[in-house]
Amino acid sequence: MTGGGPPFLSIAEAGRLIAAKKLSPVELTRAMLARIAAVDQQLNAFLLVSERQALAAARTAERAIAAGSRGPLLGIPVAYKDIYETAGVRTTAHSRILADNVPTEDAETVRRLNAAGTVMLGKLATHEFAIGGPAFDLPWPPARNPWDTRRFTGGSSSGSGAAVAAGLALGALGSDTGGSIRLPAAYCGIAGLKPTPGLVSRRGIIPLAPSLDTAGPMAWTAQDCAILLDALAGYDPLDPASVRGPPVSYARAVEAPLKGLRVGLVRRFYEHDVPGSPEVLQMMTRAAATLRGLGCRVEEASLPPVQEYNAVGRVIISAEAYALHEATLKSRLSEFSRVFRVRVLAGALIRAADYIAAQRRRTDLIAETARVFERFDVLIAPPTAGAAPLLTEQRPDDGFSRPLLTTVANVAAIPSLVVCGGFTATGLPLGLEIMGPAWADALVLRVGHQFEQAAGLRGRRPSI
Partner 1 sequence: MAAQPASIVPTISPAEMQILISRAGLVLNPGQMADLVLAWRQVAGLIAAIPQGRKLADDMALTFRLPPPADPGPAARPAANSAARPVSPAAAKGSSKRASQASQAKARPSRSNATASPPKAKAKATPSRATAAAATAKAKAKAKTPSRRPASRRR
Sign of the CA dihedral with 299 first, then 304, 310, and 316 last: negative
* Bridge partners for 419 per DSSP: 432
Task: Show the binding pattern over residues 65-104: x = contacts partner 1 (CB under 8 A), - = does not.
Answer: ----------------------------------------
Contact of 163 with 124, CB cutoff 8 Å:
yes
In 3D, which of 442, 402, 434 has the Cα closest to residue 416? 434
Q: Which of 10, 95, 156, 318 is catalytic?
A: 156
Residue 46 CB, shortest distance to partner 1, in Å, is: 28
> Rounded to an integer, what distance in angstroms lies between the CA atom of residue 183 and that of residue 126?
12
* Bridge partners for 119 per DSSP: 77
| Binding-site member from 181, 231, 404, 428 for partner 1 (CB under 8 A) | 231
| Binding-site member from 142, 159, 178, 234 for partner 1 (CB under 8 A) | 234
| Binding-site member from 53, 149, 281, 396 for partner 1 (CB under 8 A) | 396
HEC sequence for 276-303: CCHHHHHHHHHHHHHHHHCCCEEEECCC
What is the 8-class DSSP label of residue 425? T
Nearer to partner 1, 299 or 364 (CB): 364
| Binding-site member from 27, 307, 375, 390 for partner 1 (CB under 8 A) | 307
Residue 297 makes contact with partner 1 by CB under 8 A = no
Residue 2 CB, shortest distance to partner 1, in Å, is: 30
Candidates 136-144, 169-177, 291-299, 305-313; binding stretch for partner 1 (CB under 8 A): 305-313
Residue 400 makes contact with partner 1 by CB under 8 A = yes
Nearer to partner 1, 27 or 354 (CB): 354
> Rounded to an integer, what distance in angstroms lies between the CA atom of residue 244 and that of residue 95?
34
> Rounded to an integer, what distance in angstroms lies between the CA atom of residue 193 and that of residue 185?
9
Contact of 123 with 89, CB cutoff 8 Å:
yes
Residue 182 makes contact with partner 1 by CB under 8 A = no
The answer to whether 81 is a known catalytic residue is yes
Task: Show the binding pattern over residues 325-364: x = contacts partner 1 (CB under 8 A), - = does not.
Answer: ----xx--x----x--xxx-xxxxxx---x-xxxxxx-xx
Q: Which of 24, 50, 180, 242 is catalytic?
A: 180
Residue 320 CB, shortest distance to partner 1, in Å, is: 13
Nearer to partner 1, 99 or 323 (CB): 323
Residue 238 makes contact with partner 1 by CB under 8 A = no
Q: Which of 10, 24, 50, 81 is catalytic?
A: 81
By CB under 8 A, how many residues form the interface with partner 1? 43
DSSP run (H or E) holding 111: helix 108-115
The answer to whether 194 is a known catalytic residue is no
Residue 159 makes contact with partner 1 by CB under 8 A = no
Residue 57 CB, shortest distance to partner 1, in Å, is: 19
Q: What are phi and psi of 338, to 5 degrees?
A: -65, -40
The answer to whether 156 is a known catalytic residue is yes
Nearer to partner 1, 167 or 304 (CB): 304
Q: What order of strands is seen across the sheet that includes strand 416-423?
A: 46-49, 119-124, 77-81, 171-176, 214-219, 191-194, 416-423, 429-435, 378-381, 262-265, 297-300
* Bridge partners for 194 per DSSP: 416
Spell out a b/e string for 152-164, using b for 16 or more CB atoms within 10 Å of the CB, else e.
bbbbbbbbbbbbb
Instruction: Return the active site residues.
Output: 81, 156, 180
Footprint of partner 1 (CB under 8 A)? 112, 115, 231, 233-235, 244, 247, 305, 307-308, 310-312, 314-315, 318, 329-330, 333, 338, 341-343, 345-350, 354, 356-361, 363-364, 396-397, 400-401
